[in-house]
């Protein structure tokens, strides 16, 4: 068993260097600290098994497979720049590990500084939290997951890699008040609107990065009920945050993912024909032209200008800062 660990360690180190080169080829991350984190955090410890599509369902690959060729497939896949299916129930995918290059882009966008306290919503395998620990120190990292089994698994993976941040089994929509305040909040699950407890647990000037529709929203927080920001240019698909009611973005014109993003923002306010007409009239706008403002009990998405003519409410009826 010791020899196998050495085998994985040596092969993993080579695979991590290759992964860093692949991520750099995508243009991220610019921060050398993140490149070092990806080069040194052993991702294979966070995915001791995972699933790949196979004939009639999913095939399970794992680190303890007695067949060397299958172990090699497992290790190679653990460092591929792709999302990895980590949990399958009754033949359906229920959880996955994010694509490393997308994780690198999100971490770079957080613009962390030494001493920042970060809350992660959605513990997953623990790998994302480990990267944060490598960059900031484990005492500055908190990760939350509603599923106690997932939280415990992440805690185990983190410990195996030598990290012991705060891992909390709780409703991520409510943040983690006992560990607040935070300088950064990053979600690895999609939200339908901005949870007010997150803003209340932020220091003034904090950043919140979260998937909304099929984009990544980066907000600057002013106080417990005020924040504003724009979407990053990239597309992003994440499972919905459990604990809040979400909605899946509806399909738009065939093959046009940008409209799918737009309709995911406005489908509570416009019907399909209205949305498509506006989107075409405005020149098929890219994600970075859109933003979100939180002001008191109102939240709205907007195009180009938060006070401009194109704005659409995000909050469901009856939701308020006190009722989130």
Torsion angles phi and psi, residue 168, rounded to 5:
-120, 130
Of 87-91, 176-180, 199-203, which range is least confident?
Answer: 87-91
Q: Please write the tens of the pLDDT for every residue from 95-138.
A: 789 999 999 999 999 999 999 999 999 999 999 999 999 999 99
- The per-residue pLDDT for 242 is 65
- The per-residue pLDDT for 5 is 59
- The per-residue pLDDT for 158 is 98
Determine contact, residues 51/86, Cβ cutoff 8 Å.
Answer: yes
Domain ranges of the chain: 2-188, 210-313
Higher pLDDT, 167 or 238: 167
- The per-residue pLDDT for 249 is 45
Q: What is the set of active-site residues?
A: 95
Closest CA to 125 of 143, 141, 102, 142: 143
Q: Please write the tens of the pLDDT for every residue from 263-311.
A: 999 988 899 899 999 999 999 999 999 999 999 999 999 999 999 999 9
Predicted TM-score (pTM) of this structure: 0.91
Residue 260 has pLDDT above 80, yes or no: yes
- The per-residue pLDDT for 251 is 47
- The per-residue pLDDT for 72 is 93
Interval 167-184 mean pLDDT: 97
Please provide the average confidence, as pLDDT, over all residues in the chain. Answer: 89
Q: Please write the tens of the pLDDT for every residue from 196-252.
A: 999 999 999 999 999 999 999 999 999 999 999 999 999 998 877 765 544 444 444
Residue 191 has pLDDT above 50, yes or no: yes
CATH topology of domain 2-188: Rossmann fold (3.40.50)
Instruction: Tell how strand 166-169 and strand 141-145 pair up.
Output: parallel
- The per-residue pLDDT for 237 is 87
Residue 323 has pLDDT above 60, yes or no: no
Give the confidence band of 53 by pLDDT, cuts at 50, 70, 90: confident
Residue 2 has pLDDT above 50, yes or no: no
312 Cβ contact list (under 8 Å, min separation 6): 265, 266, 268, 269, 270, 300, 301, 302
Give the confidence band of 257 by pLDDT, cuts at 50, 70, 90: confident
pLDDT exceeding 70 applies to what percent of the chain? Answer: 90
Say what angle helices 2-25 and 100-110 make with each other, to 10 degrees.
70
């Amino acid at each position: 068993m010791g020899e196998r660990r050495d085998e994985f360690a040596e092969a993993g180190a080579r695979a991590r260097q290759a992964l860093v080169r692949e991520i750099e080829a995508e243009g991220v991350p610019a921060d050398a600290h993140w490149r070092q984190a990806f080069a040194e955090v052993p991702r294979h410890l966070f995915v001791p098994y995972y699933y790949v599509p196979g004939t009639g369902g999913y095939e399970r690959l794992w680190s303890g497979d007695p067949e060397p060729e299958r172990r090699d497939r497992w290790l190679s896949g653990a460092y591929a720049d792709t999302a990895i299916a980590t949990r399958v129930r009754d033949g359906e995918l229920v959880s996955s590990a994010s694509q490393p290059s997308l994780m690198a882009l999100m971490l770079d966008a957080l613009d962390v500084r030494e001493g920042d306290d970060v809350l992660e919503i959605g513990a997953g395998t623990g790998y994302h939290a480990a990267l944060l620990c490598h960059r900031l120190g484990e005492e500055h990292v908190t990760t939350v997951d509603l599923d106690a089994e997932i939280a415990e698994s992440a805690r185990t993976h983190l410990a195996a890699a030598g990290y012991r941040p705060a891992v909390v089994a709780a409703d991520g929509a409510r943040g983690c008040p006992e560990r607040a305040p935070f300088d950064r909040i990053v979600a690895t699950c999609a939200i339908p609107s901005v949870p007010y407890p997150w803003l209340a647990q932020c220091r003034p000037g904090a950043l919140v990065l979260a998937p909304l529709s099929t984009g990544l929203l980066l907000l600057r927080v002013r106080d417990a009920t005020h924040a504003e920001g724009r979407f990053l240019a990239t597309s992003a698909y994440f499972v919905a945050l459990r604990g809040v009611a979400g909605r899946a973005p509806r399909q738009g014109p065939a093959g046009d993912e940008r409209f799918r993003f737009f309709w995911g923002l406005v489908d509570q306010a416009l019907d399909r024909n209205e949305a498509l007409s506006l989107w075409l009239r405005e020149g098929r706008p890219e994600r970075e032209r859109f933003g979100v403002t939180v002001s008191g009990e109102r939240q709205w998405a907007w195009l180009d200008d938060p006070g401009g003519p194109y704005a659409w409410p995000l909050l469901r009826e009856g939701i308020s800062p006190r009722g989130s």
